[in-house]
Amino acid sequence: MLKFLVARSSWSRIGILVLLVLGGAAAGCRPSPEQQIKDAFKQEFRENGRRIAVMYTRFMGAPKGPVSGPNDFKGPADEAELRSFMATMPADSLAELGIPDPQAAGLFISERDGKPLRVRYGIAGPLSTTYVVVCESEGVGGQVKVFKSDGGSLEIPAAEADAALKGGRDAKYDPSSAN
Q: Is residue 47 domain-resident?
A: yes
Q: Is residue 127 domain-resident?
A: yes
Question: Containing domain of residue 66, as a range?
Answer: 33-177
Q: Is residue 8 domain-resident?
A: no
Q: Is residue 21 domain-resident?
A: no
Q: Is residue 28 domain-resident?
A: no
Domain count for the chain, please give it: 1
Q: Is residue 58 domain-resident?
A: yes
Per-residue confidence (pLDDT) for residue 116, from 0 to 100 = 96
Q: Is residue 86 domain-resident?
A: yes
CA 78, distance to chain mean position in Å, is 21
The residues of the chain scoring below 70 in pLDDT are 1-28, 37-45, 62-70, 174-179
Span 150-171, pLDDT tens digits: 888 999 999 999 999 999 988 8
What is the distance in angstroms between the CA of the first residue and the CA of the last residue of the chain? 74
Q: Is residue 7 domain-resident?
A: no
Dihedral sign for Cα 37, 71, 135, 94, please.
negative
